[in-house]
Amino acid sequence: MDRREHWQQVYTTKARERLGWFKPHLDASLAWIADLRLPADAAIIDVGGGASTLVDDLLDEDYASLTVLDISEPALSAVRGRLGADAERVTWVTADVTEAALPADAYDLWHDRAVFHFLTDAADRERYSDRLKASLRSGGHLIIGAFAPDAPPRCSGLPVERYTVAGLAAELGSGLELCEQKKDLHVTPGGVEQMYQYCLFRRV
Protein backbone atom coordinates (compact mmCIF):
# COMPACT_ATOMS: atom_id res chain seq x y z
CA MET A 1 0.00 0.00 0.00
CA ASP A 2 1.49 3.37 -0.99
CA ARG A 3 1.30 6.54 1.07
CA ARG A 4 -1.82 7.91 -0.57
CA GLU A 5 -3.70 4.61 -0.24
CA HIS A 6 -2.72 4.34 3.42
CA TRP A 7 -4.14 7.73 4.34
CA GLN A 8 -7.24 7.24 2.21
CA GLN A 9 -7.94 4.10 4.20
CA VAL A 10 -7.24 5.78 7.55
CA TYR A 11 -9.66 8.62 6.91
CA THR A 12 -12.41 6.42 5.51
CA THR A 13 -12.34 3.83 8.30
CA LYS A 14 -11.82 5.89 11.47
CA ALA A 15 -13.72 8.76 13.06
CA ARG A 16 -11.50 11.81 13.47
CA GLU A 17 -11.84 11.65 17.28
CA ARG A 18 -10.24 8.17 17.18
CA LEU A 19 -7.22 9.18 15.13
CA GLY A 20 -4.00 8.97 17.11
CA TRP A 21 -2.99 12.58 16.51
CA PHE A 22 -6.42 14.14 17.07
CA LYS A 23 -6.71 17.08 19.45
CA PRO A 24 -9.83 19.25 19.86
CA HIS A 25 -7.60 22.31 19.35
CA LEU A 26 -3.93 22.62 18.39
CA ASP A 27 -3.10 24.82 21.37
CA ALA A 28 0.69 24.77 20.90
CA SER A 29 0.38 25.98 17.30
CA LEU A 30 -2.35 28.50 18.07
CA ALA A 31 -0.27 30.09 20.83
CA TRP A 32 2.63 30.73 18.46
CA ILE A 33 0.34 31.98 15.72
CA ALA A 34 -1.17 34.46 18.18
CA ASP A 35 2.33 35.60 19.21
CA LEU A 36 3.26 36.24 15.56
CA ARG A 37 0.47 38.84 15.31
CA LEU A 38 -0.05 38.14 11.63
CA PRO A 39 -2.34 40.47 9.69
CA ALA A 40 -5.78 39.15 8.78
CA ASP A 41 -4.77 38.78 5.13
CA ALA A 42 -1.62 36.74 5.90
CA ALA A 43 -1.36 33.71 3.62
CA ILE A 44 -1.31 30.57 5.78
CA ILE A 45 -0.97 26.97 4.58
CA ASP A 46 -1.69 24.00 6.85
CA VAL A 47 0.24 21.08 5.37
CA GLY A 48 -1.27 17.71 6.18
CA GLY A 49 -4.26 19.46 7.72
CA GLY A 50 -6.33 16.30 7.49
CA ALA A 51 -9.33 16.54 9.78
CA SER A 52 -7.59 19.04 12.08
CA THR A 53 -9.57 21.87 13.66
CA LEU A 54 -6.80 24.41 13.05
CA VAL A 55 -8.61 25.81 10.01
CA ASP A 56 -11.80 26.21 12.08
CA ASP A 57 -9.94 28.19 14.73
CA LEU A 58 -8.14 30.38 12.18
CA LEU A 59 -11.44 31.15 10.44
CA ASP A 60 -12.85 32.13 13.83
CA GLU A 61 -9.93 34.58 14.10
CA ASP A 62 -10.96 36.03 10.70
CA TYR A 63 -7.87 35.01 8.76
CA ALA A 64 -8.83 35.52 5.14
CA SER A 65 -6.18 33.65 3.11
CA LEU A 66 -6.10 30.05 4.28
CA THR A 67 -4.97 26.95 2.39
CA VAL A 68 -5.28 23.37 3.65
CA LEU A 69 -3.26 20.67 1.90
CA ASP A 70 -3.65 16.96 2.52
CA ILE A 71 -2.94 13.76 0.63
CA SER A 72 -6.39 12.40 1.53
CA GLU A 73 -9.44 13.75 -0.27
CA PRO A 74 -11.81 12.05 2.23
CA ALA A 75 -10.10 14.00 5.03
CA LEU A 76 -10.55 17.32 3.25
CA SER A 77 -14.11 16.46 2.28
CA ALA A 78 -14.94 15.80 5.93
CA VAL A 79 -13.56 19.19 6.95
CA ARG A 80 -15.46 20.98 4.19
CA GLY A 81 -18.64 19.30 5.38
CA ARG A 82 -17.93 20.36 8.94
CA LEU A 83 -17.32 23.97 7.95
CA GLY A 84 -20.37 24.27 5.73
CA ALA A 85 -20.53 27.64 3.95
CA ASP A 86 -17.25 28.71 5.59
CA ALA A 87 -15.44 26.12 3.45
CA GLU A 88 -15.72 28.60 0.56
CA ARG A 89 -13.30 30.86 2.45
CA VAL A 90 -10.51 28.26 2.21
CA THR A 91 -8.34 26.96 -0.65
CA TRP A 92 -8.25 23.16 -0.62
CA VAL A 93 -5.36 21.22 -2.15
CA THR A 94 -5.43 17.44 -2.44
CA ALA A 95 -1.79 16.44 -2.92
CA ASP A 96 1.26 14.73 -1.48
CA VAL A 97 3.33 17.65 -0.22
CA THR A 98 6.48 16.10 -1.67
CA GLU A 99 4.92 16.30 -5.15
CA ALA A 100 2.65 19.34 -4.83
CA ALA A 101 2.94 22.19 -7.31
CA LEU A 102 2.78 25.11 -4.88
CA PRO A 103 3.08 28.78 -5.85
CA ALA A 104 6.39 30.52 -5.27
CA ASP A 105 6.80 33.08 -2.48
CA ALA A 106 3.14 32.61 -1.63
CA TYR A 107 2.88 31.99 2.11
CA ASP A 108 3.55 33.98 5.26
CA LEU A 109 3.14 30.91 7.46
CA TRP A 110 3.67 27.21 6.74
CA HIS A 111 2.19 24.96 9.43
CA ASP A 112 2.94 21.25 9.76
CA ARG A 113 1.95 19.09 12.70
CA ALA A 114 2.74 15.42 12.14
CA VAL A 115 3.60 15.26 8.44
CA PHE A 116 7.35 15.67 8.22
CA HIS A 117 8.10 12.85 10.66
CA PHE A 118 6.35 10.36 8.37
CA LEU A 119 8.90 11.08 5.62
CA THR A 120 11.37 8.30 6.30
CA ASP A 121 12.99 8.51 2.87
CA ALA A 122 15.73 11.14 2.56
CA ALA A 123 14.67 12.05 -0.98
CA ASP A 124 11.14 12.81 0.24
CA ARG A 125 12.49 15.04 2.99
CA GLU A 126 14.59 16.91 0.46
CA ARG A 127 11.58 17.43 -1.81
CA TYR A 128 9.56 18.65 1.17
CA SER A 129 12.28 21.14 2.12
CA ASP A 130 12.57 22.39 -1.46
CA ARG A 131 8.83 23.10 -1.66
CA LEU A 132 8.79 24.71 1.75
CA LYS A 133 11.57 27.14 0.93
CA ALA A 134 10.25 27.93 -2.54
CA SER A 135 6.76 28.73 -1.22
CA LEU A 136 7.55 30.48 2.06
CA ARG A 137 8.20 34.18 1.67
CA SER A 138 11.33 35.83 3.05
CA GLY A 139 10.47 36.81 6.61
CA GLY A 140 7.70 34.21 6.72
CA HIS A 141 7.50 31.57 9.43
CA LEU A 142 7.39 27.80 9.71
CA ILE A 143 5.69 26.07 12.62
CA ILE A 144 6.55 22.38 12.62
CA GLY A 145 5.69 19.65 15.11
CA ALA A 146 7.40 16.28 14.80
CA PHE A 147 7.97 13.32 17.08
CA ALA A 148 10.74 13.90 19.62
CA PRO A 149 13.37 11.22 20.36
CA ASP A 150 11.36 9.92 23.33
CA ALA A 151 8.19 9.46 21.24
CA PRO A 152 7.16 6.02 19.91
CA PRO A 153 8.95 4.82 16.75
CA ARG A 154 5.69 4.30 14.88
CA CYS A 155 2.38 6.10 14.39
CA SER A 156 -0.76 5.01 12.52
CA GLY A 157 0.95 1.74 11.65
CA LEU A 158 3.87 3.51 9.94
CA PRO A 159 7.48 4.11 11.01
CA VAL A 160 8.43 7.70 11.79
CA GLU A 161 11.60 9.73 12.08
CA ARG A 162 12.16 11.32 15.50
CA TYR A 163 13.93 14.64 15.94
CA THR A 164 15.88 16.78 18.33
CA VAL A 165 15.79 20.53 17.67
CA ALA A 166 19.23 20.37 16.07
CA GLY A 167 18.30 17.33 14.01
CA LEU A 168 15.15 18.96 12.69
CA ALA A 169 17.01 22.16 11.79
CA ALA A 170 19.73 20.17 10.03
CA GLU A 171 17.23 18.10 8.07
CA LEU A 172 15.31 21.16 6.86
CA GLY A 173 18.58 22.78 5.78
CA SER A 174 19.80 26.33 5.33
CA GLY A 175 17.61 29.38 4.89
CA LEU A 176 15.65 28.92 8.11
CA GLU A 177 16.45 30.63 11.41
CA LEU A 178 15.27 28.97 14.63
CA CYS A 179 13.19 31.38 16.70
CA GLU A 180 11.65 29.18 19.41
CA GLN A 181 11.25 25.56 20.39
CA LYS A 182 9.15 23.65 22.90
CA LYS A 183 8.03 20.14 23.75
CA ASP A 184 4.35 19.19 23.73
CA LEU A 185 3.07 15.92 25.18
CA HIS A 186 0.13 14.49 23.26
CA VAL A 187 -1.89 11.57 24.61
CA THR A 188 -3.75 9.65 21.93
CA PRO A 189 -7.41 8.62 22.31
CA GLY A 190 -6.02 5.16 23.07
CA GLY A 191 -3.85 6.48 25.91
CA VAL A 192 -0.45 6.35 24.17
CA GLU A 193 1.93 9.19 25.09
CA GLN A 194 3.59 10.94 22.15
CA MET A 195 6.13 13.68 22.82
CA TYR A 196 6.24 16.27 20.05
CA GLN A 197 9.15 18.58 19.33
CA TYR A 198 7.78 21.91 18.10
CA CYS A 199 9.98 24.45 16.35
CA LEU A 200 9.26 27.94 15.07
CA PHE A 201 11.54 29.02 12.22
CA ARG A 202 11.82 32.24 10.24
CA ARG A 203 12.63 32.20 6.52
CA VAL A 204 15.75 34.24 5.84
pTM of the model: 0.93
Where in the chain are the domains?
3-203
Q: How far is CA 109 from CA 93, 112, 128, 133, 171, in A?
A: 16, 10, 15, 11, 19
Q: For residues 193 and 188, give the distance between their C-alpha atoms in angstroms, rounded to a whole number.
A: 7
- Looking at the domain 3-203, which fold is it? Rossmann fold (3.40.50)
Tens-digit pLDDT profile for the chain (204 aa)? 688 787 777 777 766 666 656 777 899 999 999 999 999 999 999 999 988 999 999 999 999 999 999 999 988 998 999 999 999 999 999 999 999 999 999 999 999 999 999 999 999 999 999 999 999 999 999 999 999 999 999 988 889 999 999 999 999 999 999 999 999 999 887 888 999 999 999 999
